[in-house]
Homo-oligomer: A and B are copies of this chain.
């Protein structure tokens, strides 16, 4: 990971490949890398689909090592969805493979002048780019099948589906998992549209013949990894709840807490929650010969993923995540797991963010395009996206545009990005994160559910404004740092509660790079990433007025607690006043 690969897709005579040393970008990984490159190299007022935007793909600092959970990939650019800076984070194999190939970042620049589409091949022999118009408009599953037939199954593949090619604002970039299925996605913010604007359909990564990355102090590194892994397996969330039921363990928990947004954020509890809960899902998966626990990349020990088979025992989709089950489930009044799994498959196949897609359908239901609870109608709406019909184009532009086009007043977005699966009125900490995150509404940017609901890292009452600013601030800082390591964010549960697990993470970084980072260094790194992102957004035209929830969250109480958001604007403005 000592070089940067730049590909100028707009160069005269075809794409131009340049490999450079890290230079100014040395020491950066993951989100710190993507954010720093975007901030320095992308004009904040450029059109997100223009040649001036760049797509930056970066493994984390520990990706490609034997460290557990180190397989997260950061994808950064100016977001077509929010208009601000974006880091979209994905699991799957790409980060590990890319890191072992030695690249700290791939930077796609420029824009071809023709309509041809390209595939990029990176292996131990170097980089090749070829036009391959036979891939045009292939959905991700078909695409990967074709790529596999050409390159075998020792690869990782990043790709866009039809949504990305059509440059839809909700388009994702798919990353293959260990079974070479396009199930893990850099979903949020339309990063797939930026890849589509550069006419890159697929990036095929093959690390055959490349060694595991070696630490400066291999003995200490191995020891740290052991403590780190033990810590993860010991914690009740990462050692028990997530492996047993996946992220969908949250459905019953959030529903019980009255913070489960139902029927487009009209209520905080869903009558059908138990039917689509993680418990029900795991039971069904096992019964049908799927898997209720499974890792999405090499080195995962939490194994929160799974395999969801249809009633005949055939693969239907990967185990839909909690956010997906919610966005297509409770948010749309749908309580049928098979329909939700089908929607999850379609989303992955067309290449769209499952959160934005589901929230958009809920908004479309409020616009009268379908009835809440009508799963068949929801499936048909997503199919329109795949077709690129005018209706599909609307929905493929996300919840904000759909609300705008149909005159819907209640649209749960911040900075035009759809809210995830927690009502900000009933779980106020996450509301602070939604409002103030540089990313738009994003639960992963500062996952206050941990402390508001799961009582990880202490407890802050979710129904009271007190303490939420500090909670969100601290979690946003920690997250920005974790997102730079390549570590799965789920390690946060263990490192928040167990000092020795946090120390093990520091030891991993220190022994690998020969550093002497402390807790304070992590905080400084997180702050630096956030400040850089805030600065970009300011230059892109964002102000404090964009760090707000839509007004109806402050005026319309949500059952069962009948609470509004209630965190004051002036307090929101203190989140980054450190």
**Contact flags A197-228 to B (C-beta < 8 A → 1, else 0):** 10000000000000000000000000000000
- Within the complex, which residue of B80, B394, B548 is in contact with A393, where a contact is CB–CB below 8 Å? B394
Q: How many copies does the complex hold?
A: 2
Of A41-49, A293-301, A442-450, A470-478, which stretch is located at the interface?
A41-49
Indicate with 1 or 0, residue by residue over A220-248, a CB within 8 angstroms of chain B CB atoms.
Answer: 00000000000000000000000000000
A275–B555 Cα distance when bound, in Å, is: 56
Which parts of A517-542 form the interface with B (CB within 8 Å)? 538-542
Determine the distance from Cα of A45 to Cα of B545 in the docked complex, in whole angstroms. Answer: 8
A405 — which chain B residues lie within 8 A by C-beta?
393-394, 396-397, 401, 405
Interface SS, A side: loop
Q: How far is the CA of A543 from the CA of B544 in the complex (A)?
A: 11
With the chains together, A393 CA to B401 CA distance in Å? 11
> Does A166 contact B541, Cβ atoms closer than 8 Å?
no
Q: Assess whether A557 is interfacial by the CB under 8 Å rule.
A: no
How long is the Cα–Cα vector from A538 to B541 in the complex, in angstroms? 11
Residues of B within 8 A of A167 (CB): 407
Chain B residues whose C-beta falls within 8 Å of the C-beta of A166 in the assembled complex: 407
- Would A52 and B551 be within 8 Å (CB), given that A394-B390, A540-B545 are in contact? yes
Do residues A409 and B543 form an inter-chain contact, with CB atoms below 8 A? no
A169 within 8 A of B: yes
A151 contacts which chain B residues (CB < 8 A)? none
The residues of B that contact A401 with a CB separation of less than 8 Å are: 397, 401, 404-405
Complex contacts, A548 vs chain B, CB 8 Å: 45
By a CB distance below 8 angstroms, the chain B residues around A80 are: 404
- Nearest 8 A/B pairs, CB to CB: A167-B407, A541-B545, A390-B391, A390-B390, A393-B405, A397-B405, A47-B409, A49-B409
- List 8 A-B residue pairs with CB atoms under 8 Å apart, sorted by A's residue number: A47-B551, A50-B552, A196-B407, A393-B405, A401-B404, A401-B405, A541-B546, A543-B543
